Structure formats: C-alpha cells, structure tokens
Structure 1
C-alpha cells in the first residue's frame, strides 16, 4: 500500500491519477501538513477544510500533521517520523512524492524516510514540465492560490491554471512552478467524484521569511 504526500496542488493530483491507473497499486490515503495555529497549509495558505473536501471527493482518507508556525527542521522531522511510523503500522509501505527534478528536495525526503519503515516513490521524476503542465491544464481544474513576488506579480494569483495562464508565464518561470514560483489548488479532474466547490475571492500580500507572497482566499 502507498500514501500520497498531498499538497492539494497539480503535481500530486497527476501522480495520484497515474498511481490509481495501476491495478497493482493500492492507495491507502493522503498525507498533508498544516500550521496548527491557523489550520492552513504552510506554503499554499489553503484551509484544512478544503483539503478535507478534496480527500472526500477523491474517496480517500486524509492524515493531517499539524506543525508549529515557526517549525524548525528537528521538530518537523520528529512530527513527520511519528506520522510515518503510524502509517507503517496501518500497512503503508511507500510514500509518494510529486517532485519533478529538484535533487536536493528529493535527497531531503529520502533522508527523512531513512529511519522509518517506509520507502519513497517519485512517479513523476524527470518528466518534462512543459508537457506535464499542458497535460494537467487539459485534464484538471485548478486555481492558482499563491505566487512568489520574485517570480510573478499579484495578477497571477486567483487565476485558473489553463493554457492562457501558461502562455502568460515569463520565460524564466517553470510551467509547473517547481522552484516555488506559484502553487495551485485542484478543484476537479480524474479521480474526483465531484468538484470541490470553491472560488477565489480576497487576495492578500504577506511577507514570509525573506520573501513576499501573494495569496488568494478560497470560499
């Protein structure tokens, strides 16, 4: 059995679709993290209830790891280790990540799993991000919920992830946002029993660490 590391965004949705198409793979559920004080995903800024709605629409259980607002590596790794051990006790053997090409991120994930009974799995690793982005835009419905001001201005947040969005991206921005240029929330697509009924509303700009990010509220 496997569990999917779930951000709620496009890449993990594609990974889940491909895994579910394999008759030899059993998807046990989704694993996500939220800030415990605000109950939102840390980078995407999406409320926990929206991730729960995604899991319901996908017909999968969602395991949520709550993290402190200013979590350090040691505390993050300890809480994830607890979650991984609990998953292994439930029969999960592998955790699936939707990373595409960042070797340092993959190495960090592998190190976090090294002392657990679980292995990592990267079904999208090495895929061409332009092709993957276009494929996703054709098959899924997603909204852009966060953009990094260093890469994109505020006009990009709240937009639907579609061919028009891709056409407007500057040439130095990865079409899948693999460097963190933007993040998405998937509302519908293959594997969803029904759409997640949310729409982008208020947009806010926040300083996070040394960066500036534009977020879009979903209601």
Structure 2
C-alpha cells in the first residue's frame, strides 16, 4: 500500500479494477474528491478477474496521483474469507474517517444489493456515479474524452483469443459480437486503462502472450501485460 492521504469531510474511496468503468467513475467524481483507490489482488500478485500484475496497478495509481490499498486474497477465495478481509478494511476506513466508497457498477442490481448489504454493517455510504447510464452512450463517452485501454480478458464463449490484447476502440467494438454489452458489464471482457484525462502521463505497457484458462464453468483468454 502507498502512503495514505488525510481524509477530508467528504472523504471517498473508489473501488478500483483498473478498467474502463473504474477510470470513468474517477473521471466523473474528480481526483480531488477521491482519497484512495481500493483493489483486491490474489496472493500470486495478479488480479483474479483481470489477470493484471500488482505493479501495473501501482503505476496507474502513481500516474493518477492517488494512494492505492491492495487487499490480498487467496487464489481460490471462498466468500467468507473475502468478506472477512474486506470487513477489516472497512473497519480501518471508519477509523480513518472515510465517509463514502464509490463503485463503478452500471446496472447489475444483484451486485449493488450485495455491496449495500455489506456496507449496512458500517457507517460508510456507498455511491454509484455511473449507475443506470446507457452503456452504448457510456462507452462512447469513455472513448470520446480520450481514455485508452487494452482488453486484457475475454470470455472464450463469445470471443476468440485474438481479441485479448487489442486496444479497446471503435474497431474492437465493431468486431465484437452484437450480443455483448458494449461495456462488458456482464463479464464479457475486462480492460486495463493506461491513458486518459485523469492521468499525469501514460502508463507504459506492452502485451505479452495470450493464455486460456478455465474459470468456473467457462473458459477465458488472458493477455499478459508487462
């Protein structure tokens, strides 16, 4: 974890995936409003959903000028263990005077209800700056303001492996199956944002090999970013 900043009267932490929606949520809130980024990372040093390395999240945070807190979880993490570790973090935030935690969810009611149920046990308020935005408009707005991102994970039941490692742009969206949500809100794809209006400078990355892994009942293609 990087050095913590002192909480303000409206101190807000942003749940951070490093992807397009989290970056746009930060843009909507403003970097002056957000005290810290919060992300979970597997004990192998990578995001469990995105497969992105811890050090790349740290470089994102450095370019954003914000501290980031990493919550380490086991690679095969049961829900009880996840909730226990997150409860410890929420208790720490309460002791530091954190008032709000922001999430970049767009429309998944069950996800929002789960988050609200966990926060109900604390004095921290949940906020959703992108909630119920039309996802076609959302992805266009994300690209129009100058964000740039690499697609790091795709659902193998929807995409072939060549889509992993591509830049998220109008060409990617045109080539993607029509059935997907354009923001990938149902888990169709995940991204790593490396440049945009909230960054002091681009995060230098290069794409590596693409590997295919079984996750639950499905198969996903991951592009290694270095």
Confirm or deny a common fold (TM above 0.5): yes
Among 25, 35, 39, the alignment partner of 1:32 is 39
2:72 counterpart SS class: strand
Among 137, 141, 156, the alignment partner of 1:135 is 141
1:51 alignment counterpart: 57
2:165 alignment counterpart: 158
1:86 alignment counterpart: 92
1:121 alignment counterpart: 127
1:107 counterpart SS class: helix
User: Bigger shift: 143-152 or 180-189?
Assistant: 143-152
1:11 alignment counterpart: 21
Residues 197-216 of structure 1 aligned to structure 2 (within 5 Å) = 197-216=204-223
2:104 counterpart SS class: coil
Structure 1 unmatched runs, 5+: none
> Can you list the C-alpha shifts for 1:4-61, whole angstroms capped at 9, x where unaligned?
000000001000011017xxx621110000011x110110000000000000000000
Aligned pair 1:177/2:184, yes or no? yes
1:104 counterpart SS class: helix
2:106 counterpart SS class: coil
Q: How far apart are the structure 1 equivalents of 2:116 and 2:85? A: 16
Q: How far apart are the structure 2 equivalents of 1:152 and 1:124? A: 26
2:173 counterpart SS class: helix
1:120 counterpart SS class: strand
Count of residue correspondences: 215
**Consecutive aligned runs of 4 or more in structure 1 exceeding 4 Å deviation:** none
Contact 1:203 1:215 in 2 (8 A): yes
| Cα displacement (A) at 1:114 | 1.4
Task: Give the RMSD, CA atoms, in angstroms.
Answer: 1.1
> Can you list the C-alpha shifts for 1:120-144, whole angstroms capped at 9, x where unaligned?
1001000010111112123201000
